Amino acid sequence: DGGITQSPKYLFRKEGQNVTLSCEQNLNHDAMYWYRQDPGQGLRLIYYSQIVNDFQKGDIAEGYSVSREKKESFPLTVTSAQKNPTAFYLCASTWASNTGELFFGEGSRLTVL
Amino acid sequence: GENVEQHPSTLSVQEGDSAVIKCTYSDSASNYFPWYKQELGKRPQLIIDIRSNVGEKKDQRIAVTLNKTAKHFSLHITETQPEDSAVYFCAANMEYGNKLVFGAGTILRVKS
């Protein structure tokens, strides 16, 4: 089943711990994105990457970090500096020019206790 | 700043009626405007999109209109059905097309 895979689906962590969410795609897409979804606030962009070894901050990058060492992978680390990390995180990918369909993963729900 | 405003936040319609969701955007350079549908517990999926060189696009019961001068675009769903119940997001590309900015979403409920 080709597509974009996020793991884990559910994650519980204690305050102060860093957490890494995985995102892998086999669609040969150049661009990958991380969005955060909170009730009533839509999808807010955390980080995005148009090409391997390069990425840009989105609108709410504080407290998050990413890497893009391989075209297929774009992991997101939620650091202890993120003040309100409990949320639903969605990874997406598309071809280099962002005027085409974004393909989303199934999401990862992070709960910080 | 760069943003997309979406209204209404919730919309209830009777089965068979039409539903309209409206969005406005801030970046005059935006040229791509997709609409995504997210069913409960599932990932968002593209249902229709429009580019700035056209004013309207239809796909069966769904249509999108774009007014570039006013910087707003709308989703129209006709003959609504219970399976249309979901959260709908509009979006616009910004920063020379490098990122997609989403509206806050509209919860559509179709009552049978």
Beta pairing, strands A108-112 & B86-94: unpaired
Q: Which of A23, A47, A99 to mutate to test the interface with B (most CBs of B within 10 A)?
A: A99
Q: Each residue of A52-110: pLDDT tens digit?
A: 999 999 989 999 999 999 999 999 999 988 889 999 999 999 987 666 789 999 999 99
Q: What are phi and psi of A91, to 5 degrees?
A: -100, 145
Q: State in Å, rounded, how far the first CA of chain B is from the last one.
A: 41
- Closest alpha carbon within chain A to B46: A101
CB atoms within 10 A of CB A23: 24
Local confidence pLDDT in tens for the 112 residues of chain B: 678 999 999 999 999 999 999 999 998 889 999 999 999 888 999 999 999 888 999 999 999 999 999 999 999 999 999 999 999 999 998 876 678 899 999 999 999 9
Q: What are phi and psi of B108, to 5 degrees?
A: -100, 125
- Please indicate whether, in this complex, the C-beta atoms of B100 and A45 are within 8 angstroms of each other: yes
- On whether any CB of chain A is under 8 Å from the CB of B66, the answer is no
3-state class (DSSP) for residue B16: coil
3-state class (DSSP) for residue B84: helix
CB pairs under 8 A between A and B: 58
Q: Which residues of chain B make contact with A43, given a CB cutoff of 8 A?
A: 44, 89, 91, 102
Q: Each residue of B99-110: pLDDT tens digit?
A: 889 999 999 999
The token pair at B48 is 């229709």
Q: What are phi and psi of B34, to 5 degrees?
A: -95, 160
* B22 alpha-carbon distance from chain centroid: 7
